[in-house]
């Protein structure tokens, strides 16, 4: 099986998949899709994903290539095809709790800071996009702090990294990018520190990606 990831260096959804691939120890080819230049709307990328989003994981085996979009679907696919090491606990409650925590980020926070949504909002309300994103990130992280605290060990769920941690780390990066003070989320910050001790998380960082621009060219 050959895996090719189409993503963008600072896309939190692409970042999640990079972490998942790293935790599974899977080799993959990285293909950058520059969202700032609109490459996600090029015909070649639309053929891979009609929603014009990243990430897309191209899975080639048996002479056929299939394209998978949406980080949750991609990570669930990887979990089913490559179950060790696991991203989900063995027990039904644990699996449900980890999925719940991941969805707190995936459905409850990230959409409010999505590039497409903020670009549209900025056009309607000049400079309103940052305040919008900050508000909803704070609301989401406050709830996530409580939810994680109830069952956290070294990581969000016990003492091994799971899907919940894969979603948490990119979200905290996003919070800092929008100027959100994270002092009020000590459990989340402790989990983040534990994650960053792992090579899979470090290699997935935005600055480590080949398409990351120099700091003075970022916006």
- For the ranges 42-46, 58-62, 166-170, 215-219, the lowest mean pLDDT is seen at 215-219
Read off the tokens for 199: 């090579």
Q: Residue 3's pLDDT band (boundaries 50, 70, 90)? A: very high
Read off the tokens for 215: 């700091």
Averaged pLDDT for residues 106-114: 91
Q: Give all domains of the chain, ordered by start, each with its CATH number.
A: 2-84 (3.40.30.10), 92-202 (1.20.1050.10)
Averaged pLDDT for residues 126-133: 88
Tell me: the pLDDT tens digits for 141-200?
999 999 999 999 999 999 999 999 999 999 999 999 999 999 999 999 999 999 999 999
Report d(CA 196, CA 22) in Å as an integer.
Answer: 13
Check whether the bond before 85 is cis (ω within 30° of 0). yes
C-alpha triplet 149, 13, 177: angle, nearest 5°: 70
**C-alpha dist (Å) from residue 70 to 76, 110, 172, 183:** 10, 13, 20, 31
Residue 32 has pLDDT above 90, yes or no: yes
Task: Check residue 200 and give its pLDDT.
Answer: 98
Q: Residue 61's pLDDT band (boundaries 50, 70, 90)? A: very high
Averaged pLDDT for residues 88-97: 98
Query: What are the residues facing 29 on neighbouring strands?
Result: 4
Q: Residue 11's pLDDT band (boundaries 50, 70, 90)? A: very high
Residue 10 has pLDDT above 90, yes or no: yes
Q: Which of 29, 194, 61, 151 is nearest to 17 (CA)?
A: 29
The CB density around residue 44, as the number of other CB atoms within 10 Å, is 9
Query: Between 115 and 199, where is the model more confident?
Result: 199
Residue 217 has pLDDT above 90, yes or no: no
What's the whole-number average pLDDT of the chain?
95
Task: Check residue 8 and give its pLDDT.
Answer: 97
Task: Check residue 125 and give its pLDDT.
Answer: 87
Return the CA Rg of the chain. Answer: 17
Query: What are the residues facing 58 on neighbouring strands?
Result: 4, 67
Residue 39 has pLDDT above 90, yes or no: yes
Read off the tokens for 160: 């091994």
């Amino acid at each position: 099986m050959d895996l090719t990831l189409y993503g963008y260096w600072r896309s939190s959804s692409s970042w999640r998949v990079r972490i998942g691939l790293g935790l599974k120890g899977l080799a993959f080819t990285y293909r950058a899709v520059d969202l700032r230049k609109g490459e996600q709307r090029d015909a070649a990328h639309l053929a891979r994903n009609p929603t014009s989003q990243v990430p897309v994981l191209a899975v080639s085996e048996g002479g056929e290539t299939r394209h998978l979009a949406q980080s949750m679907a991609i990570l669930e696919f990887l979990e089913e095809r490559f179950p060790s090491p696991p991203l989900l606990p063995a027990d039904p409650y644990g699996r449900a709790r980890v999925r719940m925590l991941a969805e707190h980020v995936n459905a409850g926070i990230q959409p409010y800071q999505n590039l497409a949504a903020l670009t549209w909002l900025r056009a309607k309300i000049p400079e309103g996009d940052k305040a919008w994103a900050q508000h909803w990130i704070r609301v989401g992280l406050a709830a996530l702090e409580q939810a994680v605290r109830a069952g956290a060990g070294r990581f969000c769920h016990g003492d091994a990294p799971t899907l919940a941690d894969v979603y948490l780390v990119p979200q905290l990066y996003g919070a800092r990018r929008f100027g959100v003070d994270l002092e009020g989320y000590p459990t989340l910050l402790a989990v983040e520190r534990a994650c960053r001790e792992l090579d899979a998380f470090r290699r997935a960082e935005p600055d480590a990606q080949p398409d990351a621009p120099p700091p003075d060219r970022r916006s």
